[in-house]
Amino acid sequence: MLRYSAKVAIAGILVIFLSACENSKFVRENLSINGTAVDGYIAGAAVCLDLDSNGICSAAEAKTTTAIDGKFSFSNVEKGANEFGTVILRGGTDTATNKEFGEVLKNVIDTKNVHSAILITPLTDLAAINFLDLTVKNSTKLNDSREMIESGLSLSQTDLDKDPMQDIKMFFTVQDLQYIKKIVQNVTITSLAQDINATQKQEIDYRIKKALLTPIEEKKWEALNLYFVFAAMEVEFNIIMDDDAKKFAAKNLNQFRDSLKVLSADSRLTVNMLSRLQVLLEIQRDASITAINSKDYNATITPIDLNTTFDKIEQTDFNTTDAIYDPEACLDGSAYSVIENIIFSPEATADTINGVYIKSSIGFSVNTEKTKVKLFYPDLTLEKTGKRTTFASNKYYLEFDQAWVSNTNNKVYIQTPIENSKLYQCFKLELSSIISNELKTTKVFRYSGSLL
C-alpha cells in the first residue's frame, strides 16, 4: 500500500494536472475571428459577435468596425457555453459604389469549429436566416442551411466561402440577388404609401429574404416567378401592389438577368474589373427604381451594352505595361494625402508633419505638367526620428523620416508623367528599410475615369 505522504503527493500532482487541463480548455474555448464584409467591400460598418444569437448586439458582446477593405477581427473572445454565434453587420459604405450600405447581414459560426477567416455576404445572410429560424440547431443543420443556399442557387459546395469580389461566378450571383431584393423592396415601400423609418425598412428587407428562401429551397431560382415574391409581401404587409408596377419590375428583372448572362460569359472580364462593373449594374437597377417611384411604367431602361461597358470599365489614366493592378494606385482619397513637385521648384515639396519630401528631377519642359511628380502617402502614426533616408530614381528624389520603417502602413505611391502621352506611370514603394538600396518599386495601375 502507498504511504500517506505518497498519496498526498500523487493527489497534488493530479490536482495540478487537472487544473492545467481546465486552463488549457478555457484558452481553447476563446474565439479569434478574422472576417471580410462583402457586397462590394463594406467599409465603416458596425460588426458584433452575437454569441447568444438573439439578434441583439448587447453591451457585453464584442464589437468592431470594418476597415476600408471590409476586413474586421475579434480576438480572444470568451464564447462561454454557446455552441453557435452570429456575426451581425449593420450599415457602412459599399466601396465599389461609394454608396451607403443600408442592410443588415449575418453569418452564423459554429463556435467549436470556427474557420480562420469568414465572410459576411448577402449569401451567408440567407443561410443564417434559414438556420436561425430552425427549432433544432446543430452543426448538421448549419451545414444543411449553407448547402441549401448553394444548391438552390446552382453553386458548388463551399462556394459561400468565396469572396464575391474575387470570384466572377459569385459576383454575378450576388448582383442577381441584390437586384431582386432592391426591386421588391422598392415596390413594397411604394405600395405601403407611408414614410418608412430605418427599423421598418430592415423588417421589410428581412421579410423579402424569407420569401426568397422558398424558390431557392425548391430550386426554382433561375426561373424565379417574381409574382410569387410580390404575393408574399402583399400577405405579409396586408397591401395590394400596383399590377403595372409588378409587370414593369418583372420585365426589367428579365432584362437585367440577360445582361448578367452575357457579361459573365465574356472572357475579357477579370476580377479586377468587378467593382467598376458593379457601379454600371447599379446604374441600370437605379433607373428601374426611379421609374417605379415615379410610376413611369412605360420607361425604357437601357440595358448594359457589352462593348461600351468594357470600354468604360477598362478606362485608366495609367500605363499598364508590366504593371500590377492595385485599386489604391496613386489615389488621392481618405486614406492617402498627396504632395507634388515640378522641376522648376527650387526646393523639395515637404510634409514636415508626416516626414516626407519629394523633388522632381525630370528634364526641363515647356509643359510644366510633364515635369510634375506626385507622392501619395498615408499618415505617419509614430514620432519622427529626425533621421532621413533618400531614395532616388531618374525622375525624382524621395526622402522620408526613418520612423516610416516601423509605421503600420508604410506603403507610398509615386506618380510620374510619360513624355508624349496622356497616361502616367504609378509606382508602389514600401518604406521598409532605412537602407536605400534595399527599397524596390513596383509598377502598378488602377482603373479610372467616369462610368456615367
Tens-place pLDDT, residues 22-43: 444 444 568 889 999 999 999 9
What span, in angstroms and rounded, lies between the C-alpha atoms of 148 and 177? 15
pLDDT at residue 80 tops 90: no
Query: Alpha-carbon torsion 394, 395, 399, 402, what sign?
Result: negative
Write out pLDDT tens, residues 326-345: 989 999 876 899 999 998 88
Cell matching residue 228:
410569387
Question: Residue 374 — φ and ψ, nearest 5°?
Answer: -115, 140
What span, in angstroms and rounded, lies between the C-alpha atoms of 296 and 244? 10
Single out the residue of 109, 98, 129, 117 nearest to residue 37, CA to CA.
117
What is the pLDDT averaged over residues 242-259?
95
Give the pLDDT band (50/70/90) at residue 162: very high
H and E: helices and strands count for the chain: 9, 20
What span, in angstroms and rounded, lies between the C-alpha atoms of 37 and 42? 6
pLDDT at residue 180 tops 60: yes
CB-based contact 84:78 (threshold 8 Å): no
Single out the residue of 98, 82, 94, 97 nearest to residue 120, CA to CA.
94
Give the pLDDT band (50/70/90) at residue 415: very high
The bridge status of strand 71-78 relative to strand 30-37 is antiparallel
Q: Would you report the helix, strand and coil content of the chain in percent, each value rounded to 5?
A: 40, 20, 40
What span, in angstroms and rounded, lies between the C-alpha atoms of 220 and 58? 38
Give the pLDDT band (50/70/90) at residue 363: confident
**What pLDDT shows up at residue 58?**
86
CA distances from 337 to 89, 184, 193, 353, 448 (A): 29, 41, 46, 12, 18
The mean predicted confidence, pLDDT, of the chain is 90
pLDDT at residue 3 tops 80: no
pLDDT at residue 186 tops 90: yes
Per-domain residue ranges for the chain?
33-161, 179-313, 324-445
Q: Is CATH 3.10.129.10 correct for 33-161?
A: no
What is the pLDDT averaged over residues 55-66?
90
**What pLDDT shows up at residue 47?**
96
| CA angle at 348 for the pair 345 and 350, rounded to the nearest 5° | 125
Cell matching residue 281:
449594374
With a pLDDT cut of 90, the percent of the chain lying above it is 76
pLDDT at residue 54 tops 90: no
Q: Characterize 347-384 residue by residue with b for buried, 16 or more Cβ atoms within 10 angstroms of its Cβ, and e for exposed.
A: ebbebeebbbbbbbebeeeeeeebbbbbbbbbebeeeb
Write out pLDDT tens, residues 274-322: 999 999 999 999 999 999 999 999 999 988 888 888 888 999 999 999 9
Give the pLDDT band (50/70/90) at residue 11: very low
Give the pLDDT band (50/70/90) at residue 264: very high
| CA angle at 185 for the pair 180 and 186, rounded to the nearest 5° | 105
What is the pLDDT averaged over residues 427-437?
97
Which stretch of DSSP H or E encloses residue 23?
helix 4-28
What span, in angstroms and rounded, lies between the C-alpha atoms of 87 and 36? 11
CB-based contact 428:312 (threshold 8 Å): no
What is the pLDDT averaged over residues 75-80?
83
DSSP labels for 243-259?
Answer: HHHHHHHHHHHHHHHHH
Which amino acid is present at 147? E
Question: How far apart are the two ends of the chain, measured CA to CA in Å?
Answer: 90
Q: What is the DSSP letter of 66?
A: -
pLDDT at residue 111 tops 90: no
Give the pLDDT band (50/70/90) at residue 378: very high
More confident residue, 168 or 115: 168
